[in-house]
Structure formats: C-alpha cells, structure tokens
Amino acid sequence: MIKRELLQTVTVPGSTAQMTLQRQGKEYSIWVDGVPLMTTRQSGSEVALAELGCAHLKGKADGEVLVGGLGMGFTLAATLGMVGPDAKVKVAELVPAVHEWNRDLLGEFAGFPLKDLRVSVDIADVADVLRSNPNRFDAILLDVDNGPSGMTQDKNTWLYWPEGLGVVAKALRPKGVVAIWSAYSDPAFHKRLLQRGFKVQEHQVGARGKGGGSRHFIWTAQK
C-alpha cells in the first residue's frame, strides 16, 4: 500500500483546528484534526452542488454567484461551466493555504478554475461576505463545513440556524437559490429552511457522481 505523505499543516483561522494537505500516490486529500474532508478522487457531489444551485442560470449571459468554500476547486469549475460569459463568480475562502494549494498542487485536478477571469477570491469568512453583499447574488453555493453541524469551526453552525439563514436570504436577489452541501441528512435543518420562507428540495448524490460511492446531501432553497 502506498504510504500517505503529509505535505503541509495550517491552523484554521479563528480556531485551534489543524488542517493538513496530504498525498497518497497521485491522490491529494485535505483533513481537519485527523478527519478527512475531501479528496481529489471524489468530486461528484461537489460538482452536483454547482449544477443544482446554478440550474436556473443555465443559458443566461450574466449573473452573480457566491461559492462559499473553495475546497479542491471542483464546485468552482462546475459553476463556471454553468454560468454565462458575462457572469461573475466570487469565492469566499477562510483558509489562505487552501487558496494557495488550488493555485499550485491541486489546480490541475479541476482545470485551474482560479485562472478564469470571471472569478474573484475573498480570503474571508463567508458569513462576512454575505453580510456585506445584500441583494447581490443569483446563486449561493455553500460547502463551508461537513454539514449543518460545524466541524471545522463551531461558529459555522450559526450559518445554518435562523439568523444565518436570514443573512443568506438577504444576500440573494429575488428568485435566487442557495445550495448547501452536507455529508448527512438533517430533517431539522430542512425544516428551518422552510420556516425561513424558502422553497426547498433535498437531493441525494453520489460522492463519485454517476460512479456511486457514499451518499451526500444537497439542499436547494429558492428565495
């Protein structure tokens, strides 16, 4: 078996959590406190997040999208394939190292989407980006943690509760859609989305897309 190699360790801003980039053969993975978050071998549900969240923008020349959490760039790359030539895609990424990894070691796996001129990157908490951009986005794609219960940072949980969902709603334009990735189902979160006035659908998708793998969950909620 090929040995896993530790490439870099960084502290997640605003917490004590340790994030690592690791390599095993040709596969790269990102871990937090010893728990694997994502890998270059599985990107199906990250792509589905963009496809489901931006479906209403297909065929539209412009529009603005916020991608919360850069990850390994798969959601960003899929978003660029969904939106038009005049669209703007803003990425909010909390961890500076994740941005650097995507510009270098990880970039080739998603086709170097950060080089696309439609993309801008804010090294910031997505909550701050949402608060400072009311009524701006046609789509918001959130993959900032492992789901509605924050693992990387406890404060991420705020985003999935009524106050945070209210901030999300204010950042969306009329008929805008927020799509939210999760490693697990959460009926209580589904209910909170409904209570905030969203039209909600829950989707089960394979971690490897049509190739199957473990099941992940994506909520799409229209303002």
Q: 121-140 burial, b for 16+ CB within 10 Å, e for fewer?
A: bbeebbbebbeebeebbbbb
Beta bridge partners of 141: 67, 179
pLDDT of residue 210: 63
Residue 79 to residues 33, 51, 61, 182, Cα–Cα distance (Å):
29, 7, 13, 18
> pLDDT tens string for the chain (223 positions)?
889 999 999 999 989 999 999 999 999 999 999 999 999 998 999 999 999 999 999 989 999 999 999 999 999 999 999 999 999 999 999 999 999 999 999 999 999 999 999 999 999 999 999 999 999 999 999 998 667 865 444 556 889 999 999 999 999 999 999 999 998 899 999 999 999 999 999 999 987 666 556 789 999 999 9
Helix 74-82, helix 44-53: angle, nearest 10: 30
The SS3 assignment for 186 reads: coil
CA dihedral (99, 110, 159, 204) in degrees, to 10, reads -160
Q: What does pTM read for this prediction?
A: 0.94
27-36: per-residue pLDDT in tens?
999 999 999 9
pLDDT of residue 157: 80
pLDDT of residue 151: 47
133-179: per-residue pLDDT in tens?
999 999 999 998 667 865 444 556 889 999 999 999 999 999 999 99
User: Looking at this protein, which amino acid is placed at residue 46?
Assistant: E
Identify the CA nearest to 57 among candidates 222, 209, 168.
222
Domains and CATH numbers, the chain: 42-222 (3.40.50.150)
